Structure 1
Amino acid sequence: MLYMIGGSPCSGKSTIASLLARQYQLLHIKLDDLVDEMMSQASADSQPICLLRQDRNPEQIWMRSPEEMADEEWRFYEEIFPYVKSYLIKNQDRPLLVEGAGLLPHLVKELECQASSYLCLTPTADFQKKHYRQRE
């Protein structure tokens, strides 16, 4: 069985996933832990956003407009999703709970899973600001 939790950064995905995985003996997979591997695979396949990200310095990453950054992040998740999908297929023999911001609704829909196995969290602005300050 596959369960997924998507949603924006700092919305509580990891906290909820950790609690559920422990309670129901599910293997908790954080998409963040797989991103480097997925990005390497996508870069090897000449995916443009992943190739761009390999060569950028911090200033090139962070000193852009929020709109440009958001658009690129969205496209990045779309580029790596086939590799995420492949990972899930390879590990479908055990009950998984996968969580990450890259589990966008339109991408998860491609998996043709039951709607009840996917949750997308959307926090309030106040919740998100408060918890961003508390991040490691």
Structure 2
Amino acid sequence: MQLASLVTQTSGSNRVWPYQMQCYHCEETLLDNDCSAPKFIVNCTANIQNACQKEVIVGENGVIYRKACASFSTCLIVSAGYQSFCVPGRVGSVCISCCNTPLCNGPRPPRISLAPSHPPTRPTALLLLITVSMATLP
């Protein structure tokens, strides 16, 4: 998707409104706060900062997040430079990611629960059901 500008008709003349990306922005020193609250939303510089960047640093005391508007090409270069330092979960890890949709550097995705969505079947009830089913077979 090319991010350029929007053209609208106003009183018979064309008016150009630059596309303005929105991102989360913070230099968060509070550990484990991924700064995805509405108060961290900023408007990026139109037609210059066309992407969002997220930096995740794993320290000895927890995770620190840095988020900002960025130029997509610059972000990709920086991200590639830090690729060898990105080992999620390891102390000292620095992971930088880039994205180009509004607020894409936002909340962490929800954790996938491995817990069953229904109560487990009791083995004795299951065994009884199998026994009854087999007893009715010809």
TM-score normalised over the length of structure 1: 0.25
Bigger strand share: 2
Bigger helix share: 1
Structure showing greater relative contact order (alpha-carbon pairs closer than 8 Å, 6 or more residues apart): 1
TM-score normalised over the length of structure 2: 0.25
